[in-house]
Structure 1
Amino acid sequence: MKIAFLADPLASFKTYKDSTYAMMVEAAARGHAVYAFEQKDMALDGGIVYANAARVILTGDAHDWYRLEPHHEAALTEFDAVIQRKDPPFDMEYIYGTYLLELAERQGARVFNRPDAIRNHNEKLAIAQFSQFTAPTLVTSSEARLRAFQAHHGDVILKPLDGMGGAGVFRVQADGMNLGSIIETLTDNGRRTIMAQRYIPEIVNGDKRILVINGKPVPYALARIPQAGEVRGNLAAGGTGVARPLSERDREIAETLGPVLASRGLLLVGLDVIGDYLTEVNVTSPTCFQEITQQTGFNVAAMFIDAVEQGATQA
C-alpha cells in the first residue's frame, strides 16, 4: 500500500512521543510505502486535488530519523490511504484543507478521518451529543449566563472552543475571583462563544485519554495527571502520563460512542474523560499512542494500521 500522511513538518516531530511517527514506523515495518505532505502542499488544479508529496524513508536513528525522496505532484487518488494528522489550530486554513480532502474523496481517495466528519465534530461541542456522560455544561458568549452558571455551581472551568493542549483553560472557584476579567478575555467582550463546565475534582487523578479505533477502545487509557498547582492535565501543559486499564465507566463511554463515531467516518478518536465524565471528543490528530505502548506493551499503532488496511480495502 501507498499511505500518505497530511502532517505538520517532519522536522518538528518529537520521535519519542509522536503518534504520527509511531504510525509511520508501523506502516513501514509492514512494507507499506510511506509518504508525507503538508497542507500548503495541496492544490486543486483542473478539478483534481493534488499534493506535492515525498516518500519518507525511515532511518531508525532517533535524531536523524528520516530522509525524503524527491517531491512530486500526485493526485490524492494515487494513494491507497490518506491519513489526516495535521494539528490544530482549527482555523479557516484547516477548514479549507478539509474541503480539498472532501473533493479528493469524491474523486475516489480514501481519507481517514473523513474530512466532513472532522468539520462536523468540534472537539469541545461534540460532547453535547452524548449528554448522558457529561458534567453540567454551558456554551455561550453571554456574561450574564456565565456568571449565573458560576454562581449556581460554585467551582467551574471556563475554556475556549478552539483551544488545544490546555491553552486558555481557567478555573474559577466559589469566591468568583477574577471571573469578570476571565469572561472578558475568553469571550472577547461577548464576541466569542466559550464553554463553562462544573469543575470535576477527580482531575487530581488524571484527565484520561481513551483512544477508540474503528469503533473499538484501546484497552488502556493514558491518565494525564496535572502538576502541582495546575488544573490542566494536558501533557503540553506539564502533565504526567500514566497508562491504566480502562475502568468500567471508561469502557461504557467508549463502547457507546465508538460505533456511532466510526459510522460517521471517524476511524480514530481520542475521548477525554475526567472521573466519570466525558469532557472532549478529539478528532483532528489524537495522540498518546507511544506513551500507552511504552508503559503497557499494547501496540496501539498496530491496531490503527490494521484499521487503515481494512478501511482502505473496503472503501
Structure 2
Amino acid sequence: MDILFVADPLESFKTYKDTTFSMMREAQKRGHRIIACEPKHLVWQRGGVVQAAVRRITLTGQADAWFTEAEPATVALKDLDAIVMRKDPPFDSEFFYATHLLEQAEREGAKVFNKPRALRDHPEKLAILEFPEFIGPTLVTRDPAAVRAFHAEHRDIILKPLDGMGGMGIFRVKDDGLNLGGIIETLNKDGAETIMVQKFLPAIKDGDKRVLVIGGKPVPYCLARIPQGGEVRGNLAAGGKGVAQPLSDSDRRIAEALGPILATRGLLLVGLDVIGDSLTEINVTSPTCFQEISDQTGFDVPAMFVDALEAAVAEGR
C-alpha cells in the first residue's frame, strides 16, 4: 500500500520514542510504501481534487539519518491507499482547516484514519462528557462563581484549559483556595474562554494511565505516567516517568465500553487517559506511547496498529 502520514516535519521526529515513526517502521517492514507531508502541504482548487506536495521516504534503520527520500512529488490523496492523520496538537484553526480538506479528500475516495469528522467531533477534553458514568466530578464553564462553588464542594481541584496538551496550563488548588482567583483569571481570560475543572484524584500518585484502543480493542498494557518530584502532572512532556503495566479491571472495562463505540465513528486509534478508576480525557488527534509500551513489555503495539489499518483499508472503512 501507499500510506501517507500527515504529520509534523520529519526533521522534528525523536525516533527513539516517536509513535508515528514506529508506525512507519512497521508499515515499511511489511512492504508498504511510506509517504509524508505536513498539513500545510494540502491543497484543493475548484475543478480538481485534494492534492499534497509529499516526500516519498525510505527508513534506513539508522539513528541519525533515519530516512532517505526520492524527488518531491505532488499526489492526489484519492490515489493513495491510506492517509494517516498524525499531526500533533494543539487542535488550532489550521488543524481544523486540515480536517476539512481531508474530509473533502474522503468525498473524492480517499481513506483517512482517524476520520476527519471524528477528529472534529471528539475534542480531547470534552469528549468525556458523553460518558459520565466513567468520569469523576467535572465542571465545564466560563463562570468564575461556578468554579468557586465547585471548589467549595470538592476542596481539592484541578483546573485546565480545553486546548492544552502535554500537561500545559494545568493547576491544582487545594483546600485553602490559595490563588484560585488568579488562576481562574489566567485560564478563562476574564470570562472569554471556557475551562475544565475536575476533582483532584489522589490516585495520580500511581500514574496518569494512557490506555490505547486500536480498531475498537484495548492494547493489553497501558503506560502509567507517574509525576516526579513536586509535580501534579504525570505527562511525559512535563517530566513524568512512564511505566508500562497490564490493564487493570477498571481500565479494561472502560476501554471495552468505549472502544467499539468510537471505532464505529471512524476512530481507528484512541488514547484514553485514566487516573485510578476515572476517565479524564479521550485523545484522538495523535495518541502516543507505542514505543514505551512495546519496549517495556514486548507487546508489539505498532504491529497491532498496522494490522488494524490493513483491515480497515481492505474493508473499505
Q: 1: CA distance between counterparts of 2:48 and 2:205? A: 52
How much has 1:170 moved relative to structure 2?
A: 0.3
Identity, in percent, stands at: 63
Q: 2: CA distance between counterparts of 1:258 and 1:180? A: 38
Which runs of structure 1 show a deviation greater than 3 angstroms over 4 or more consecutive aligned residues? none
SS of the counterpart of 2:150?
helix
- The alignment's TM-score, normalised by the length of structure 2, stands at 0.99
SS of the counterpart of 1:162?
coil
How much has 1:47 moved relative to structure 2?
A: 3.7
The amino acid across from 1:188 in the alignment is K
Q: 1: CA distance between counterparts of 2:26 and 2:218? A: 19
The amino acid across from 1:234 in the alignment is N
The amino acid across from 2:113 in the alignment is F
Q: 2: CA distance between counterparts of 1:64 and 1:181? A: 47
Q: 2: CA distance between counterparts of 1:160 and 1:267? A: 26
Asked whether 1:288 is paired with 2:289, we answer: yes
How much has 1:88 moved relative to structure 2?
A: 1.1
Q: 2: CA distance between counterparts of 1:69 and 1:194? A: 46
Unaligned stretches of 5+ residues in structure 2: none
State the match for 1:200 in structure 2: 201
SS of the counterpart of 1:89?
coil
State the match for 2:126 in structure 1: 125
The amino acid across from 1:143 in the alignment is P
SS of the counterpart of 1:167?
coil
How much has 1:54 moved relative to structure 2?
A: 1.4
The amino acid across from 1:38 in the alignment is E
How many residues get paired?
315
State the match for 1:150 in structure 2: 151
Asked whether 1:138 is paired with 2:139, we answer: yes
- The alignment's TM-score, normalised by the length of structure 1, stands at 0.99
State the match for 1:188 in structure 2: 189
State the match for 1:43 in structure 2: 43
State the match for 1:89 in structure 2: 90
Q: 2: CA distance between counterparts of 1:88 and 1:96? A: 14
State the match for 2:109 in structure 1: 108
CA RMSD of superposed structures (Å) = 0.5
How much has 1:63 moved relative to structure 2?
A: 1.2
SS of the counterpart of 1:109?
coil
The amino acid across from 2:119 in the alignment is I
The amino acid across from 1:44 in the alignment is W
State the match for 1:53 in structure 2: 54
Q: 2: CA distance between counterparts of 1:308 and 1:47? A: 27
Q: 1: CA distance between counterparts of 2:267 and 2:244? A: 23
Unaligned stretches of 5+ residues in structure 1: none
The amino acid across from 2:265 in the alignment is R
